[in-house]
Structure 1
Amino acid sequence: MRIRLLAAAPIAALTLAPFAAADPAPVTGVELNQPAGQVVAVEAKFNLTSDQDTAMRELRKLRGDMWDRNVAFDGMTLRQAAAKQGLKTRQAYVDAAQYDAGLSRVALQRGAEATQFFRHERPYNATCTANCGDTGTATYKGKAGAGENLHSAANMGKAMQDWGYGEVNDLVRANGHFNTGNGHLHNLLDPQLKRYGFASVVTAEGEASVTAAGWTTAGSERIEGEQNTVLHRPANGRETPNTTPKKLVFGGSSPRDIVAIITAVLTVLSVLSALYKFVEPLINQAR
């Protein structure tokens, strides 16, 4: 099973190009980048409450550990970079990272899109009129994330480990500068990024985990508990828009889960076949 990870660097606060807000997606409330009729509906399951608990626990642990190690960050030490933002103690730096329900909605919307189009770009078709693929168009009440982490498994604990401790050596080698090998960790440690939203989602098209990070809050309206619902993503290219949901199967299993189940069944059948060929002569003799 191949795991994929992608990190987008934080966007400079003063260089965001203006864009026209489109209709909000049902459930997430996050603005689409094209009219509401130009969407694909997919059955989905997720639990943002569980994701929050897991991700914030792991984020605080990671920030504390990296403070203790005083790793390189942007050409200086992490403690020096934090002090520039007024965070002069370990506790202040760890506590500066706060959960944001609005950014979790953004992360959920981007997760619904990334299960089919795993890249730091939103799907879109010819009806999109401005900054079509820009992830900055994924706004909740006008607020967007600044940095984004993507993981191809809907497992927030694994995602946080891979985004975090899995990239420490790359961060050190780069003297703390953002690159493709450490970008997820850089986004999680950045003292300027103080608000975080998280979502792991399984849809009829696949699965993904997402972090949306920002400077300020995008909202406090939470989506609580385990959800089995329909999410909507922008239709892409010449894809036909369809509001009839694509169905989750086998009790909400993702396509990856289904492949794993089929593979396991075929493996068991293969083993049983080999075993039968071995014991068949003994059975015949016993007759």
Structure 2
Amino acid sequence: MRTRLIAATTAAATALTLAPFAAADPAPVTGVELNQPADQVIAVEAKFNLTSDQETAMRELRKLRGDMWDRNVPFDGVPLRTAAAKQGLTSRQAYVDAAQYDAGLSRIALQRGAEAAKFFRHQRPYNSTCTNNCGDITTATYKGKAAPGENLHSVGSMGKAMQDWGYGEVGALVRANGQFNSGNGHLHNLIDPRMRAYGFASVVTAEGEASVTSTCSVGAGSDRIEGAQNTVLHRPANGGEKPSTTPKKLVFGGGGSSSSPREILGIIATVLTVLSLLQTLYRFAEPQINQFLGR
């Protein structure tokens, strides 16, 4: 299966962001501000588990940051340990421990996941009712706080996303001497010594799936959404879409399934391949079987 992943960060990523926005109604469930009125949304059934995402992502993040410290990879033109020391992180443990999970940023990640599942880009959907900032990801605020750093993956699996965002980009980071670019931006966001707060969400909706990391130098709150959830999320209506609060139904991959649609498709493809091989083997063995049975 072909997957897509993109990273974004801004010059403000190391500071608390208070983004101006219009008609900032909070989305149900996530509590994250929409960029247009609450009646200008699309409702979609969705499933997610932020508790599981936290466990997976923080385990992988700590491992990744420890390994990158040991390798002392380049970061913004200098060795990582040098960059970390500038932020007061002078030991491996201090650098690893500096990255902390943030429930508020995870709410932002979840909201952005619901949006990216349909529109996979570092821009929020919006229509003509949005009059200020509109597509800017920093309009996705929780209690006035935004996440200017963002990783997106087109698969709703935090384990796969963390692997692709991290170790999959080490070579590109080294070749760029640690400078942020499209080939290493996810890894850059994850190991940035200035980043102290991380939120994570993998979500499967009636429109698709996505995994998101939202990052900032400070957190956005401690209000958690616990455990596995099958609920309705709301995203801004885009362009000429007709707003609707009647939820689009999550059918494929729903019903309590723990696998994403892409994972289920992979399982189906494997089963079909096995059946095809068995059919080929039977055709090869059929004459011998018939002879053995005396036909």
TM-score (normalised: structure 2)? 0.89
- Amino acid in the other structure paired with 1:6: I
Residue equivalent to 1:196: 198
5+ long unaligned stretches in structure 1: none
The equivalent of 2:262 in structure 1 is 256
Superposed CA RMSD: 2.3
Structure 1 range deviating more: 129-138 or 250-259:
250-259
- Structure 1 position 21, deviation (Å): 5.5
Deviation at 1:240, TM superposition (A): 1.2
Q: Is the 8 A contact 2:17 2:138 kept in 1?
A: no
Q: 1:56 to 1:15 in 2, by over 3 A?
A: closer
**Residues 163-197 of structure 1, C-alpha deviation per residue, up to 9 Å, x if partnerless?**
11111111111111100010000001111110000
Q: 1:78 and 1:280, CA in 2 relative to 1: closer, same or farther beyond 3 A?
A: closer
Among 50, 54, 57, which residue is 2:56 paired with? 54
CA distance change for structure 1 residues 262 and 160 in 2, over 3 Å: closer, same or farther? closer
Matched with 1:151 is: 153
Kindly report which structure 2 residues correspond to 1:205-284, keeping only aligned pairs within 5 A, or say none.
Answer: 205-250=207-252, 252=254, 254-257=260-263, 259-260=265-266, 263=269, 267=273
Q: What SS is found at the alignment partner of 1:37?
A: coil
Task: Please state whether the residue corresponding to 2:43 is helix, strand or coil.
Answer: strand
CA distance in 2, matches of 1:226, 1:128: 32
Amino acid at match of 2:127: N
**SS, match of residue 131 in structure 1:** coil
Q: Does the C-alpha gap of structure 1 residues 279 and 207 become closer, same or farther in structure 2, counting only changes over 3 Å?
A: same
Residue-by-residue CA offset, 1:33-88 (whole Å, 9 max, x unaligned): 11111111111111101111111111111111111111101111111111111111
Shift of 1:100: 0.2
Is the CA contact 1:146–1:215 (under 8 Å) kept in the aligned structure 2?
no
Q: Which residue of 1 aligns with 2:172?
A: 170
Q: C-alpha deviations, 1:96-138, integer Å up to 9, x for none?
A: 1010000000000000111111110011111111111100000
- Gap change, CA 1:243 and 1:14, over 3 Å in 2: closer
Deviations 1:209-228 (A, max 9, x none): 10000111100000001111
Distance 2:202 2:88 in 1: 32
The answer for the alignment partner of 2:20 in structure 1 is 18
- Which residue of structure 2 lines up, in the alignment, with residue 82 of structure 1? 84
- Displacement of 1:146 in angstroms is 1.8
Equivalent pair of 1:205/1:255 in contact (CA under 8 Å): no
Measured after TM superposition, the shift of residue 11 of structure 1 is 3.6
8 A contact 2:47–2:229 mirrored in 1: yes
Q: What is the one-letter code of the residue matched to 1:4?
A: R
Structure 1 position 187 matched with structure 2 position 189 = yes
AA of the residue aligned to 2:194 = Q
Q: TM-score, normalised on structure 1?
A: 0.91
Could you tell me how far apart the structure 1 residues matched to 2:66 and 2:98 are?
Answer: 11
Judge conservation of contact 1:74–1:178 (CA < 8 Å) in 2: yes
Looking at structure 2, the residues matched to 2 and 92 of structure 1 have their Cα atoms a distance apart, in angstroms, of: 37
Q: In 2, distance between residues paired with 1:92 and 1:257? A: 37
Partners of 2:48 and 2:19 in 1: CA distance = 32
Conserved? CA contact 1:206–1:256, under 8 Å? no
Counterpart for residue 5 of structure 2: 5
User: Aligned match of 2:68 in 56, 66, 79?
Assistant: 66
The one-letter amino acid of 1:94's match is: V
String of CA shifts for 1:217-253, please: whole Å, max 9, x gaps. 1000000011111111111111111111111115516
Letter of the 1:230 partner, please give it.
V
AA partner of residue 192 (structure 2)? D
Tell me the percent identity.
Answer: 78
Q: Distance in 1 between matches of 2:38 and 2:113?
A: 18
